[in-house]
Amino acid sequence: MHFKVFNKIEEIGEENWNGLNLDYVCIDGLYHYSIISEQINSILLPKYIEIEDGLDKSMVLFYQLEVEDIYAEGNEWLEGFIKLYFPESIYKIMEKNDKELQSLFLVVLPDLDEEKTYKYSHEIEKRLHEIFNLKDEISLLAFTTSYKLEQYISDLQISYMYYDINDDYETFDDFLKSLTCNQRRIIKLDRKKMEKFGVSVKEINSQEYLNDMKEINKLNKFPIQEDLLDSVVKAENGFLTLGFFKEGKLIQYLTIVYGNNLGHGAIIASIENINREWNGVLNSYTSCIDIVIKKKIKRYYLGYTCQEAKSLRGAKIINRFVNAKLYNPRWREKDDQISNQRDY
């Protein structure tokens, strides 16, 4: 088995990346989003480990974070992300050891079969031992995978919701026909509420509406970084934005990141005080389906919030596991294997 490390996705190239045809579920698995993250020098940037195993080739995302950076002043969003990303059982390990814990190593595997998941995880762990000498500092190593890993503390990650878009879908009505009667009824009620409130939807040139988008972003419950918004707007490929208008005024927008037949509803912002009057967020789940079909997106991810509401509108759920192991130089076990006791 051969390994090669890339510091940036740009070193891999879009054609090579998409040629792997891998789904990481998370948005960092999309080429154009990762390019922008690198441009703005995001603190949450992965490296990439290419694995060649005979004729098989795969790639994993690898994050290395210093724990003091996670809890640093001004990085509250990062601490919030980590707390949300990790299951409670694993986050408690971090909390219990936060005064001694030095590094967090996170490896995200694509959706692979069980045999490859176990094999690649085992080999990557050995390689990380060689590179970082994990036994010399207190660190947490975690793998995000589609299956539980033996000899790790494993728990379900917060689940993602998604729509599968079949090849034979040509219109929104084709999509509706794939849902249950009750799911169709709920979506139609959403649409009626939007129509009654006088809201229309269209794809927009986000550069023309940048100032309006920034104003809405400031009012949003969870505003995104302005430099990220600027970069998304300037991007020529891999992003599209839907605008929701009332009386000609932009009141909500949804930016979709897409590539390699995958799409993520990544950025949504709305004017909170009127959003509930027309089910703004709820309508955003399905208002994009026509454009998703047009862009040949085969799987469209809706994120992990409001799971019940999304399920009622026909979204499916995908489960992933976080498998964690705590390394402590004070521990010494036979054959240099680090203890995996549950009582930390």
Domain assignments of the chain as residue spans, ordered by start? 2-158+320-336, 161-318
Question: Which CATH number fits the domain 161-318, given the four candidates 3.40.630.30, 3.30.457.10, 1.10.530.10, 3.90.1150.10?
Answer: 3.40.630.30
pLDDT at 330: 59
Q: Which residues fall within 8 angstroms of residue 243, CB to CB, at 6 or more apart?
A: 201, 202, 203, 204, 209, 250, 252, 253
DSSP 132-181: H-GGGS-EEEEEEESS--TTSEEEEPPPEEEEE--TT--SHHHHHHTS-H
CATH topology of domain 2-158+320-336: Aminopeptidase (3.40.630)
Q: Record the tokens describing residue 82, joined without a space.
A: 């980590």
Spatial separation of the C-alpha atoms in residues 70 and 238, rounded to whole Å:
29
149-171 pLDDT per residue, tens: 988 999 999 889 999 999 899 99
Q: Record the tokens describing residue 137, joined without a space.
A: 């500092």
SS3 224: coil
Residue 44 phi/psi, 5-degree rounding, is -105, 65
pLDDT at 334: 36
pLDDT at 135: 63
The answer to whether the 2-158+320-336 and 161-318 domains have the same CATH topology is: yes
Q: Which residues fall within 8 angstroms of residue 222, CB to CB, at 6 or more apart?
A: none
pLDDT at 338: 36
SS3 291: helix
Q: Which residues fall within 8 angstroms of residue 167, CB to CB, at 6 or more apart?
A: 298
Of residues 121, 257, 280, 127, the one with CA closest to residue 200: 280
Residue 243 phi/psi, 5-degree rounding, is -105, 140
Segments in the chain below pLDDT 70? 134-136, 329-344
pLDDT at 343: 39
